[in-house]
Structure 1
Amino acid sequence: MITFHNDLHALHHGKLEMFRGAMVPCFEVPARVDHVLAELRARALGPVQAPPACGDDPIARVHARRYLDFLAGAWDEWVALDPANASRDAIPSCWPIRTFRSDVLPASFPARLGLFSFDAGSPLTAGTWTAARKGADCAVAAAQRLLAGDRAAFALTRPPGHHAGADFFGGYCFLNNAAIAAQALRDGGLDRVAVLDIDYHHGNGTQSIFYGRGDVFFASVHGDPRTEYPFYLGHADERGLGDGAGCNLNLPLARGTGFDSWRSALAQALQAIRAFGAQALVLSLGVDTFEGDPISGFRLASPDYLRVGEDLAAAGLPTAFVFEGGYAVAEVGINAVNVLDGFCQRAA
């Protein structure tokens, strides 16, 4: 399995985030990818390389142009407000919620920062755009390998992506790498593509991008949004809209769920993907389902991730893995690579 590694990911390194009423050091750190990369190399699962540049079009197929324009210039605008801002990250503090207008683009940078975000836990840094942009390159490269006939490919990148919508960031995510990969597969000639999200936190951004479409099936196994971030999407009754009716499957589980119950939900998601007739799978690979994760609540152990990989391989689909969450930093490499290792062993 080839891995496309974002060698610029560490340019995005937030200092602080808002968490439960306090400013705390960010949970999403560069060491997450470094541990995965080290484990990949230790097990020699396949070549690791930087991706080719994908250009703007694959990203603009998923994200709104005014949002992309904002991200590309946000840091310069932030520093232009006050030169002292160069030493602190940009964090939104106001949002256009119910009855507020979002169609008019404010001239104020803080207002636009809020317009294009949904939480105060995703600091925008000097290197955010560069790192996120290179991450999209990884996602497109992985999709292209599937189109060329590979059984699997891995986009190893950060910041993660599955919370980012067409025109908003949040949950540490700025560009939705899984959605970009899925769209690249569609644009490459596949009629039906599935995205399966196994991160502890619901992929609200991915769901919102494809919710009205019948050509991309979205399934997610995640913490119950009544108690778990991102809270406002991920309920079981969200089944899709219009052409996408029946093409969205949410399988929320209670905090404390162990592997047997979680694995049953995974089997249900894979069965729905088979019934949809998907020709390829994009897997949002979050390993914050781990029992030691500091901001999550499932109870999967490291060996369980080998079984996860085996179950995914048994689905028989070309699969693009896209790295998402996992904040038990010391174990994230073992857990993520266990999924890939299990997949490769079963697919061999």
Structure 2
Amino acid sequence: MVGNASCAAIISDRRITGLSADVIAELVAELVPLRHERHQAKLASRPRKRAVGAGAKHQLVFVDRLLATLVHLRHAVTHDVLACWFGVDRSTITCAIAEVRPLLAERGCTVSPGVRLRTLSEVIDHLGVDGKTGIIDGTEIRVRRPAAGSKNRDAFISGKNKQNAVKTMVVTDEDGRVLLCSPTRPGSCADITHARQLGLVKLLADGPTVEILADAGYQGLGAQTSGRVITPPHRTFKRNAPDWYEEMYERQRKAHSSRRIRVEHGIAHLKNWRALTCHLGRREHMSHTVQAIAGLLSHQQTADLTSGRPM
């Protein structure tokens, strides 16, 4: 177990975890009962082979396991370094992160105290009820290249950056608050294909009237959603365009970009968590990592708004 002084330093200094002490306290109060309930359900799902109380004991209490996970997500600290800091074996840190990370990912994004969004359908309904504009964009996270000879090895090569990456679709509101990060897809998947696979077209067709801003990577969705997805204007003149058209086109493009820039700010806040800059662990964990960080960031943003502190 980490010393009380070190534990207090992690909690009190927001630079270490990216979260305030109040938000960490709320996380502990929420996750401890949930973790205990799932642990008991797991034990009850199979015949008992040991006496009650037998078996290996956790070397880290749940609060320390949570803090280790937060530090790992915020600064991409390796398991070996965390093991030295907390005075345990590396495998203990690995097990702790593997246990806590899915719990954080399932929380969803907080939009107000007690209200969370976990699916794209809930996001569309939330935007429709509040009459807000949504903004979508795809972002890529570099990952390790699959081993030689592995199946679909080239699927992770991004057509944009020519690097091995996974892609997630980020949804924010017009204020730049993160509302959703989708499960990750291989980097070769186009932005518009990812949006279609998530069911965005059907949700906009069957759901409330919502305006969605997107970049040129989503051109084509506007026609499929009756104009609800707004993308930059197409160029009418490919060559020898008149001066008046160039001025009009540039003005329209900049107006759209200035409205859509909020999602870039939201992605920048996400990338402040170093686990999303270059992931060197297993690619299978990336969906949980992205969604856990989105949930933590949105929780802190909501807490800052409630307290009157600027985001």
TM-score (norm 2): 0.26
Pick 1 or 2: higher relative contact order, CA cutoff 8 A, min separation 6: 2
Q: Which structure has the highest helix share of the two? A: 2
TM-score (norm 1): 0.24
